[in-house]
Structure 1
């Protein structure tokens, strides 16, 4: 009888170990799938431009094609106008993106135009700008943070 209990105990432990391993693999696959989110630039609105500062509102669309909710924790980015670097910023407001859905998120960017020429500032004022934003988004997962690079533009 004692041997039977030992065998049953070993079988139960093996089943539990298998469940844990399969659960870990599933979470790992889900975390890796978050790297497939689609990020696009919805638009950049110029709030103000002067010789002291450039004030922009940047709106990104993020599509989650996965079967798990994506949680955007933060984003670091650099803004370009006609291939001229305007400056860098970060966004640290968490955004939940349900499976197979799209969310828009906006961030306010205020930079000093120290490296921006007068010609670029003039172009910004006339709105003849091809904007681009590149950076990294950080998704929170059960296994830690997943990074995804992006490079988007809009004219």
Structure 2
């Protein structure tokens, strides 16, 4: 640039402060994407775990009876899930016992177990003569098919239910 009392003066061509190849708006945009992905990651939907824990016989009559199916439902998600409808078909010892529809809304707490009671009505004529003997046992083999309709932050979801095993039978009279 020139000369002076102190010697030759030159223009500095590079800075000691590091420069980023991305301007500030680029970093800001990247930060928004990362935070947004972290939030969406928490909204990832995992199917609730539904287990039949007990069958509670609530009434017996000449034409049939009623029972409650008691389920343990675990919601593994980080957010509340709402069930809008539950449809079930129940088989006991390979005999179709009844169908149930539960249209009462259920709120499933995040990362928590919830007890869900589903009432079922059955008729003796539909289950056969040997079915009455089943109800005198301590535990019974069951088969379950159906679906639960869920309302999630990511939209409606239909969760198929299929299960089988042995379940305690709570008697009407001790």
TM-score by length of 2: 0.65
Q: Please say if 1:26 is aligned against 2:40.
A: yes
Moved more, 48-57 or 87-96: 48-57
Inter-partner Cα distance in structure 2 for 1:73 and 1:131: 25
- Residue 68 of structure 2: aligned partner: 57
* Separation (CA, whole Å) in 2 of partners of 1:106 and 1:151: 17
- Superposed displacement of residue 128, structure 1: 5.1
Structure 1 runs not aligned, ≥5 long: 1-10
Task: Identify the structure with the greater helix proportion.
Answer: 1
Task: Indicate if the aligned counterparts of 2:124 and 2:131 stay in contact, CA closer than 8 A.
Answer: no
Q: Structure 1 residues 151 and 144, CA, compared in 2 at 3 Å: closer, same or farther? A: same
> Any stretches of 5+ residues in structure 2 without a counterpart?
1-24, 168-174
**How many positions carry a matched residue from both structures?**
134
- TM normalised by structure 1 equals 0.73
- The separation in 2 between residues aligned to 1:109 and 1:150, in whole angstroms, is 16
More contact order relative to length (CA 8 Å, sep ≥ 6): 1
Kindly report the root-mean-square deviation, in angstroms, between the aligned alpha carbons of the 2 structures: 2.6
Q: Note the alpha carbon deviations across 1:88-132, whole angstroms, 9 max, x for none.
A: 111112121222101001021112233211112222234552233
2:17 equivalent in structure 1: none
